[in-house]
Structure 1
Amino acid sequence: MIYTVECSFADPGSEAEWNDFYSLEKLPALISVTGFHTSQRFKSLSDGCPLYLAVHTIDGLDVLTGDEYRQKGGGNFARWQQHITDWHRNLYSDIGLAPAVDADELLVLGGSGPDPLIQMGLTPLAMQAVALEKFPEHRWLARLHRRNTPFIESVPEGVHLYAPMTEQLTSARTVSIEQEE
């Protein structure tokens, strides 16, 4: 299942330190939780959506309600909590592992159907919200190579572009399973 966490941050003075904490400490802690398979952070290049997005592949909702998740930092942003705004969490139907988005690519996320992504020449993966906020109910995601982005100003309404802030982290358990297949 795909677990998304979206938010913005309201304190420019501590934003760089918060981003370091999230990318360098929180993501590695989360990927060590049993049931987490991939984790990657993004920053929006689009208006009209939260500035930050984390995309994780997890086994299911029970991972997020377990003690191990709570102990390793799930939902805990300590001193930055007061600056986190526009915070949203969703769990989407299983599309397999979330696609890794390389530094020369963008993540494209749409909420108004697959057609706008198809018109951009992409092959979107369809996701349906199954837990947490359940809004938007449906989303489509795809990867876009940056060389194909001269039209960023003309991205269709309801489609948002995200640049990767981190490489995709993959749990050691997931890597060993993939090697066995």
Structure 2
Amino acid sequence: MSQSGLLDRTREAEWDEWYVEHLRIMETVDGIHSARRFKSESEGCPPSLAMYSVEAIAVFEDPYYQKIRGMGEWLPLIDRAFYCRNLFEGMSVAPEVPADRALWVVDRDTPDLVLGDVGFTWLISVGLDRSTPYRGIAVVPPGADEALAHEAGVAVYKPFTP
């Protein structure tokens, strides 16, 4: 997962356009099976999250991946307060998140959060920045209590790309 945000929000439409093409290119890397972007308006969390299904950590050493990875021309405009990349294990592929659902994301030192009937899948950080030991993710239906999520420090992400 790669999380980020722009310093200059007036350029967000351009960045969104760039990101669609970037994800398409990332899916051409052997060992990357899916790439999808989500957006959040949750206070204090990165506004952008890209989630990839990666076959193995060796993907990050592939010369082609090394050539195409990263934010390119956007790097100087990335808000460093939100930028982090983490590799997690705990799922073989990224979950399917239909357009009418949300992805709830929470970072914890231990996999301990329970929010009503929302079942988090706990992922363990195994590479890259390792900004959190555990990340809980849950695909939630429309109408889920976002206020409860925000109170518990959960970021609510909506699908942005198919």
TM, length-normalised to structure 1: 0.81
The letter for the 2-side match of 1:119 is L
The letter for the 1-side match of 2:133 is E
Give the C-alpha shift of residue 154 in structure 1.
2.7
For the residues of structure 1 that align with 2:18 and 2:61, how far apart are their CA atoms? 22
Among 8, 11, 33, the residue aligned to 1:11: 8
The letter for the 2-side match of 1:110 is V
Unaligned runs of 5+ in 1: 168-181
Structure 1 residue 127 corresponds to structure 2 residue 114:
no
Give the C-alpha shift of residue 49 in structure 1.
1.1
Percentage of matched positions with identical amino acids: 29
Give the C-alpha shift of residue 94 in structure 1.
3.7
Contact 1:42 1:166 in 2 (8 A): yes
Contact 1:45 1:163 in 2 (8 A): no
Give the C-alpha shift of residue 47 in structure 1.
1.1
Structure 1 residue 162 corresponds to structure 2 residue 157:
yes
Output aligned runs, 1:7-156, within 5 Å: 7-23=4-20, 25-71=21-67, 73-78=68-73, 80-85=74-79, 86-112=82-108, 114-116=111-113, 118-147=114-143, 149=144, 151-155=145-149, 156=151
List per-residue Cα deviations over 1:91-149 (Å, max 9, x = no partner). 01141111011110000112235554x423122211110111112110111100113x2
Give the C-alpha shift of residue 158 in structure 1.
2.6
For the residues of structure 2 that align with 1:109 and 1:50, how far apart are their CA atoms? 11
Unaligned runs of 5+ in 2: none
For the residues of structure 2 that align with 1:13 and 1:126, how far apart are their CA atoms? 35
Which is helix-richer, 1 or 2? Answer: 1
TM, length-normalised to structure 2: 0.90
For the residues of structure 2 that align with 1:64 and 1:39, how far apart are their CA atoms? 15
